[in-house]
Amino acid sequence: MEKWFSELAGAIPGIDEAMSFAEMLKLVQTLDYSVIVFDTAPTGHTLRLLQFPSVLEKGLSKMMSLRSKFGGLFNQMTRMFGMGDDFGDDAILGRLQGMKDVIEQVNRQFKDPDMTTFVCVCIPEFLSLYETERLVQQLAKFEIDTHNIIINQVIHDEEDVESKLLQARMKMQQKYLKQFYELYDDFHITKLPLLPQEVTGVEALKSFSKHFKTPYQPSCSTDLEERLERRVSGLKRQLREAEEELAMIRK
């Protein structure tokens, strides 16, 4: 019966995420944590997880209707094959009902703003903006608190960016950053920088985590003369490259 029930449960959308959260709840009851971070899957999977209680409830209702029609026949077949009461419809429905109770508890905690809040993490691009808006709308529909957005991989305009590619992406990002602030003017928005290296290791994580409280400040030179000299040098180099391209075209 255990194997059959596992296969049945595995076919239910969002069961992996729901059961993982349920197991975490059991650990929380015995361990002392002030904050728990639940790193969810991408938007589509997360929304299916939030819809899980209603999906399970519909499934149980369907099984209850089947039980009223075929319950007697099903019990006779289990006894005929020597499966006993452990594989009867009452046992199966009891296990499903127990699962439903756990998921409903998870859902109640999701909807309690004093216990749970959802932090949206995105990047300043169109698709990410669209997915974030879809997620925020669905979270409001599910009555789940959300008032924080983290925008990752931001190229800051204060930096002395000389790469044409980075300049183009920085210009593109500025457009979507503006839309983020217009759409979510009542949210707390945190911008995190695009770094030339990965943030790995305890010390790197500690250093990077400071930007959650203190806005990131690019390491630009504070000397105006030096900054202007670097800018002039970059413009001269671009001018030389343009002159070389023009000379090749004229040949």
| Domains of the chain: total | 3
**Angle made by CA atoms 177, 179, 183, in degrees to the nearest 5:** 120
Structural domain boundaries, residue 134: 117-220
pTM of the model: 0.67
Answer yes or no: do 107 and 7 share one domain.
yes
Which residue, among 63, 80, 82, 68, has the nearest Cα to 9 in the 3D structure?
63
Between 232 and 136, the more confident residue is 136
Answer yes or no: do 3 and 110 share one domain.
yes
Report the chain's mean pLDDT, rounded to a whole number: 76
Q: How confident is the model at residue 83 (pLDDT cuts 50, 70, 90)?
A: very low
What is the distance between the alpha carbons of residues 218 and 213, in angstroms, rounded to a whole number? Answer: 15
Domain edge (last residue) among 58, 87, 116: 116
Average pLDDT, integer, range 10-16:
56
Answer yes or no: do 98 and 125 share one domain.
no
What pLDDT is stored for residue 34 in this prediction? 78
Whether pLDDT at 40 is above 60: yes
What is the distance between the alpha carbons of residues 208 and 191, in angstroms, rounded to a whole number? Answer: 12
Whether pLDDT at 132 is above 90: yes
Domain edge (last residue) among 69, 92, 116: 116
Q: How confident is the model at residue 147 (pLDDT cuts 50, 70, 90)?
A: very high
Answer yes or no: do 37 and 77 share one domain.
yes
Answer yes or no: do 21 and 71 share one domain.
yes
Question: Is the dihedral angle over the CA atoms 206, 207, 208, 212 positive or is it negative?
Answer: positive
Answer yes or no: do 25 and 102 share one domain.
yes
**Per residue in 30-69, is it b (16+ CB within 10 Å) or e — as a string?**
eeeeeeeeeeeeebeebbbbbebbebbeeeeeeeeeebee
Answer yes or no: do 130 and 160 share one domain.
yes
Answer yes or no: do 14 and 71 share one domain.
yes
Between 54 and 245, the more confident residue is 245
Answer yes or no: do 128 and 53 share one domain.
no
Which residue, among 106, 126, 89, has the nearest Cα to 23 in the 3D structure?
106
Q: How confident is the model at residue 111 (pLDDT cuts 50, 70, 90)?
A: confident
What pLDDT is stored for residue 81 in this prediction? 43
What is the distance between the alpha carbons of residues 117 and 132, in angstroms, rounded to a whole number? Answer: 15
Own/partner pairs for 63-70, CB < 8 Å, 24+ apart? 63/92, 63/93, 63/96, 64/93, 67/93
Between 93 and 126, the more confident residue is 126
End-to-end CA separation in angstroms for the chain: 82
- The domain that holds 172 is classified in CATH as 3.40.50.300
Average pLDDT, integer, range 50-71:
64
Answer yes or no: do 198 and 106 share one domain.
no
Domain edge (last residue) among 71, 88, 116: 116
179-228 per-position pLDDT tens digit? 999 999 999 999 999 888 888 899 989 888 888 888 887 665 456 677 67
Answer yes or no: do 50 and 86 share one domain.
yes
Beta carbons within 10 angstroms of residue 21's beta carbon: 20
Answer yes or no: do 211 and 243 share one domain.
no
Whether pLDDT at 29 is above 70: no
Whether pLDDT at 84 is above 60: no
